[in-house]
Chains A and B, each alone.
Chain A
Amino acid sequence: MADIVLDKVSKRFPDGTTAVRDVDLEIADGEFVILVGPSGCGKSTTLNMIAGLEDISSGELRIAGERVNDKAPRDRDIAMVFQSYALYPNMTVRENMAFPLRLAKLDKETIHQKVEEAAKVLELTPLLDRKPANLSGGQRQRVAMGRAIVRQPKAFLMDEPLSNLDAKLRVQMRTVVSRLQKQLGTTTVYVTHDQTEAMTLGDRVVIMRGGAVQQVGPPQELYDHPRNLFVAGFIGSPSMNFLHAAVEDGHLRTALGDVPIGDRVRRQLDGADAPRELILGIRPEHFEDAALIDDETRRRGLEFDAPVDIVESMGSDKYVYFTVEGERASAAELEELAADAGAADFTGTGSSLVTRLSAESPVREGEPRRVWFNLEKIHLFDPSTGRNLTLHEGRASGALAD
């Protein structure tokens, strides 16, 4: 058990590319931290540097207060679970799990006892004498976890451990991982590209992009108070809607109508170099069918009419897709997010809008519908820097705040 501190850690490859840039991160003892980001954001490289599988180009890595930059992986006393599981195919499950203990030169009796214990926790006992080739994906995954927990290391590192499992098993294993971590209380760093995993598993989530940390915080905080456009677009499913917004004397002209702005945002738009165009961000659940809300709520938002494209009924609520006219929001971050989602080549006229309406809404495909949205939940981003202008002391306060 130990804390892990990354102090301005960077990774430069011999060909000149910088994979990780000045990452500062303090992981407390027993904490479950998730590194998340699109592919190529440097999350796996960061994990490998903590593991000792990659050299650290500059900066300092401390585990339990001790500088470990130049220590070999085996001297760092941390265990790792690989995406590919990396089980030794020539050994049985028992031998796989005993391998780290045998290398640590423990006596046979202790090894046997520890392996049995770990197998019991992960319900692997009946499989102990099988070879990895005769196990299912989920079982292999559990063996990989077993090999990590069996020697009670200072920390666990997990490199996308669930991404090779099918969707149902992944959800199941997610709770296994979560319960195991709570039970053992071991510091854990977990890498994933799946924002759902990041949101559900971690005590804190670190969002990375292009080798740099974008924001660190508990999942809910990242969701409610994204520091920039990238974080806002990456966290959340379906993701936040982004619309082009032109600044015009005292309000914003958007595809959803003219949006008034409060003093706080206005002050930021007063400067000479202030942006004349913004990106308006709003999450699907902050829309509602205008017919279903009371007057009290109605005053806090705006309404617009738009034709309904598609309705997806989820039972508990409805995802309703609209197309609104007007310029598309464009920014480097948004393009990157679209490319990561594989939707970069998806172009239509106008902007597509995803909303989550109450299940009671009688909305029908092809018909126009009046929709209300909450102005207090709007985020405004500067397209050139990606900064969230509605964020005040780390708290997002909507467009109207004074």
Chain B
Amino acid sequence: MAVETTTRAKVRWGLLDVIVVVFALVPVLWIASLSFKTPATLTDGKFWPREWTLDNYRTIFDTDQFVRALVNSIGIALIATLIAVVLGAMAAYAISRLDFPGKKLLVGVSLLIAMFPQVSLVSPLFEIERQLGLFDTWPGLILPYITFALPLAIYTLSAFFKQIPWDLEKAAKMDGATQGQAFRRVIAPLAAPGLFTTAILVFIFCWNDFLFAISLTSTERSRTVPAALSFFTGASQFEDPTGAICAAAVVITVPIILFVLFFQRRIVSGLTSGAVKG
């Protein structure tokens, strides 16, 4: 940018940034703080815990309920992400490269799915899954997750594919590659940042989902963490589970943060620079 930033402008922007960050982070930090408090000091209203304890964490990992839900969450989210990204990549590639009849319709319908209120589909899905025996199983959650993640995947990926110069593919074909080889060896490596970005978005969507998780499951067999949290009772029936819930919330938030931080480096654009002039 050619405009020189003055010190005053820097301070003003800095303040604004701090406000936004604090606004977004306070609830998260509050939960983290609660998760370290003892039951006695839980409601003291202090941000900084007076008595530190790891009991809440011990509690949740002691209960089979939470560990089982964590396994379900990871498994279901990973499988759904993998399938959605692979299918989405193929669809997005076709959309960005080919001019086939009904392309506009396809894109429109996928957008429609993304805009459809999910809550209105819960009852029909519940009925369908019960009839098909998918209720309270992993596929019972994976399938709707893929359905609702696909539009997202197709949209982000086709934007990425459109950035890749078509000449590269032509060059690969001239060099003796089949359509498949051109995609795997030239296009896919270049679309890697896009694939990672999409994967993260889809994973977060699956990981955070509560609506389907609570409606389409009934036992620990397939209940994911967000749903399991609502069934939390704490160590004993009479204990207030707030601390444990907070600890569980922290535990399921951390992987997402790590995930994003880890892959952020791969989302750096500029991987395609040097392919073509300009």
Contact = CB atoms under 8 A, between A and B. Distances in A.
Interface of A: 51-53, 72-74, 78-80, 82-90, 99-100, 103-104, 131-135, 137, 140, 147, 151, 157, 164
A80 B273 contact: no
B275 A137 contact: no
Given A84-B165, A103-B181, A89 B173 contact: no
Given A53-B173, A73-B174, A84-B165, A90 B271 contact: yes
B239 interface: no
Nearest to B173: A73
B170 interface: yes
A-B pairs with the 9 shortest C-beta distances?
Answer: A133-B274, A84-B276, A86-B171, A132-B274, A100-B175, A86-B167, A89-B275, A103-B176, A74-B176
Given A79-B175, A84-B167, A88-B171, 19 more contacts: A51-B170, A72-B173, A74-B173, A80-B170, A84-B165, A84-B275, A85-B276, A88-B172, A88-B275, A89-B272, A89-B273, A89-B275, A90-B186, A90-B271, A103-B177, A103-B181, A132-B274, A133-B273, A151-B176
A147 B175 contact: yes
Nearest to B272: A89
B99 to A, nearest CB: 9
B215 to A, nearest CB: 44
Interface in B174-227: 174-178, 181, 185-186, 189-190
A142 B190 CA distance: 22
Contact of A140 (B167, B189, B277): B277
A85 B278 CA distance: 11
A151 B177 CA distance: 14
Contacts of A84: 165, 167, 275-277
Contacts of A78: 174
B170 A82 contact: yes
Contacts of A51: 170, 174
B175 A99 contact: yes
B175 A85 contact: no
A385 B47 CA distance: 90
A74 B173 CA distance: 6
A147 B186 CA distance: 15
B246 to A, nearest CB: 44
A86 B170 contact: yes
A133 B272 CA distance: 8
A219 to B, nearest CB: 28
B168 interface: yes
A350 to B, nearest CB: 42
A89 B271 contact: yes
Nearest to B168: A86
B277 A88 contact: no
A89 B176 contact: no
B171 A164 contact: no
A134 B273 CA distance: 9
A368 B256 CA distance: 83
Contacts of A80: 170-171, 174
B198 to A, nearest CB: 19
A52 B170 CA distance: 10
B277 A85 contact: yes
A52 B177 CA distance: 13
Interface in B262-278: 271-277
A89 B190 contact: yes
A164 B277 contact: yes
Of B175, B181, B272, most A-chain CB atoms within 10 Å = B175
A73 B181 CA distance: 13
A52 B176 CA distance: 12
Contacts of A140: 274, 277
A88 to B, nearest CB: 6
Interface string B240-278: 000000000000000000000000000000011111110
A86 B173 contact: no
Contacts of A90: 186, 189-190, 271
B21 to A, nearest CB: 34
Contacts of B189: 90
A133 B271 CA distance: 9
Contacts of A147: 171, 175
Of A74, A80, A84, A86, most B-chain CB atoms within 10 Å = A86
A244 to B, nearest CB: 43
A80 B176 CA distance: 11
A159 B174 CA distance: 13
B180 to A, nearest CB: 12
